Every structure is written in structure tokens, then in C-alpha cells.
Amino acid sequence: DAGVIQSPRHEVTEMGQEVTLRCKPISGHNSLFWYRQTMMRGLELLIYFNNNVPIDDSGMPEDRFSAKMPNASFSTLKIQPSEPRDSAVYFCASHIYTLSGGSSYNEQFFGPGTRLTVL
């Protein structure tokens, strides 16, 4: 398996532009997470999907941020309009969770991240 795939790896854009980040989770995983990492705040959860349904979006900073998961193999995180304070590394992670003795499956697998710079 190729692991979690994210694109683009780097994005430089100007303030006010729309930015779309993409993620392909590991096949068979039923949960998908979007995180943002900065030096100041560390790794923060933005939104979480379970079986393609958004479960918790309380980490999404404001209405400029939106995320979708149209099917089990693809998700997008969109920022419109982008601002310089959105500059960060955005990670996607996927996860398979089972209730029956599934403790060994609770870890999340992270993608390589997208480094976003908003000028």
C-alpha cells in the first residue's frame, strides 16, 4: 500500500486566493482526519470523518475553511479566501477503528503533508 497520499506537497499562493488540498486515505480505512501543524500551536485537529460523514468540525478555524469527503478514497480541504495566518503544514491521516479487540488498529497513519504558504 502506498500509504496516505496528499497533494500538492507544497503550495504558495497570494492572500485572497482559493486553496484546495487533497487527500487519498489508505484503502479500507474508515476514518479520515485533517490536521494543521504550526510551530506555535503544534498539531491541531481540524475535522474528522467517519465513513465519509463529518463527525467533528469544531477545530475548523472559521467559515473560510471547508472539507468534503465525497467517497471513501478522496477528501479535500478548501480555504477560501486564504490569509497569511493560514500558512502551515496540513496533514491528512486515516485510521481503521474496530470495537472488537481492535486495540492494535487504533493508530492513525499520516500522509506527508502539504506545506502551505500564503503571501
Partner 1 sequence: EDQVTQSPEALRLQEGESSSLNCSYTVSGLRGLFWYRQDPGKGPEFLFTLYSAGEEKEKERLKATLTKKESFLHITAPKPEDSATYLCAVRGYGGSQGNLIFGKGTKLSVKP
Nearest to 94 by CA among 31, 44, 40, 38: 31
> Residues in contact with partner 1, total (CB under 8 A)?
25
* Smallest distance from partner 1 to CB 71, Å: 19
Minimum separation from the CB atom of position 16 to partner 1 (A): 28
Distance (Å) of CA 115 to CA 53, 73, 86, 88: 26, 22, 10, 6
Say how far apart CA 98 and CA 102 lie, in whole Å: 5
**Site pattern 19..58 for partner 1 (x: CB under 8 A):** ------------x-x--------xxxx--x-x----xx--
Residue with cell 471547508: 66
Least distance to partner 1, CB of residue 43, Å:
4
Query: Is the distance from CB of 12 to CB of 117 less than 8 angstroms?
Result: yes
Residues near partner 1 (CB under 8 A) are 4, 31, 33, 42-45, 48, 50, 55-56, 91, 93, 95, 97, 103-104, 106-113
